[in-house]
C-alpha cells in the first residue's frame, strides 16, 4: 500500500536543496513517508532515516521494501542524541528534521547532544534543515548559539530554519 505524503511533508521535502549523489539523513522519520518522498523527488540520492521509536521504524520498514531493496534507503532505530556513523560510513551532505524536539528548541539539553552528533555526522558545509512550526521560534542551530534567528522564507508547514552546519 502506497502512502502519499501530507501537504506539510510534501512542502517540506520540496524545500530541500536536493542534488543527485547526495547522502541525506532524516531525523525523526516516523513511518518513512518523507524519506520515500525524497527518493521520489530526486534520482541518485540515498537516505538514512532514523527514529527513536522501534514501532515507527517497524512501520517504515513495512512500507518501504522497494526503496530498501534498491539500496537507496536505510532505517535505523536511534535517537539523534545517540546517533553515530558506522565504521567507514561517509558523512551526510544534508540532514532534515520535521518536528523533532531535540532540534526545534523544545528540548534544549537533548539539542546540545544532538548538535554534537550532527557535527560528527555531517560534511563541513552540509545543511541542517528543521521544520519548527509555531509555537516554536526558528532558531540558529549553529554549535555555539542559543539565540533565536530570523525565520527563512517560508509559509505554513515549510522548513523554516536552515543553516550550514
Q: Residue 61: inside a domain, yes or no?
A: yes
Give the model's pLDDT for residue 34.
97
Q: Residue 2: inside a domain, yes or no?
A: no
pLDDT of 33 higher than 90 = yes
pLDDT of 133 higher than 60 = no
Rounded to a whole number of angstroms, the CA Rg of the chain reads 15
Q: Residue 108: inside a domain, yes or no?
A: yes
| CATH code, domain with 17 | 3.40.50.150
Q: Residue 42: inside a domain, yes or no?
A: yes
Using CA atoms, how far residue 80 sits from 4, 24, 69, 144, in Å, is 25, 14, 25, 18
pLDDT band at 87 (very low <50, low <70, confident <90, very high): very high
pLDDT of 46 higher than 80 = yes
Q: Residue 58: inside a domain, yes or no?
A: yes
Average pLDDT of the chain to the nearest whole number: 83
Q: Residue 147: inside a domain, yes or no?
A: yes
Using CA atoms, how far residue 157 sits from 4, 26, 85, in Å, is 16, 17, 30
Quick one: average pLDDT of 127-151?
52
How many domains would you assign to the chain? 1
Global pTM value: 0.82
pLDDT band at 132 (very low <50, low <70, confident <90, very high): low
Give the model's pLDDT for residue 40.
96
Tell me which residue range forms the domain holding 130.
7-164
Distance (Å, whole) CA 153 – CA 150: 9
Q: Residue 1: inside a domain, yes or no?
A: no
Q: Residue 77: inside a domain, yes or no?
A: yes
Give the model's pLDDT for residue 131.
81
State whether the Cα torsion 105-110-115-121 is positive or negative.
Answer: negative
Quick one: average pLDDT of 7-29?
95
Give the model's pLDDT for residue 159.
44
Amino acid at each position: 500500500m502506497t502512502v502519499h505524503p501530507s501537504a506539510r511533508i510534501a512542502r517540506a521535502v520540496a524545500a530541500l536543496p536536493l542534488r543527485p549523489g547526495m547522502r541525506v539523513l532524516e531525523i525523526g522519520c516516523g513511518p518513512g513517508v518523507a524519506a520515500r518522498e525524497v527518493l521520489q523527488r530526486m534520482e541518485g540520492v540515498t537516505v538514512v532515516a532514523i527514529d527513536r521509536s522501534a514501532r515507527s521504524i517497524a512501520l517504515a520498514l513495512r512500507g518501504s521494501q522497494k526503496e530498501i531493496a534498491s539500496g537507496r534507503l536505510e532505517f535505523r532505530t536511534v535517537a539523534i542524541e545517540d546517533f553515530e556513523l558506522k565504521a567507514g560510513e561517509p558523512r551526510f551532505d544534508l540532514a532534515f528534521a520535521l518536528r523533532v524536539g531535540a532540534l526545534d528548541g523544545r528540548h534544549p539539553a537533548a539539542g546540545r547532544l544532538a548538535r554534537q552528533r550532527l557535527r560528527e555526522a555531517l560534511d563541513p558545509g552540509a545543511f541542517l534543515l528543521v521544520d519548527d512550526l509555531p509555537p516554536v521560534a526558528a532558531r540558529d542551530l549553529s554549535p555555539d548559539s542559543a539565540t533565536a534567528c530570523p525565520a527563512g522564507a517560508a509559509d505554513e508547514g515549510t522548513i523554516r530554519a536552515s543553516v550550514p552546519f
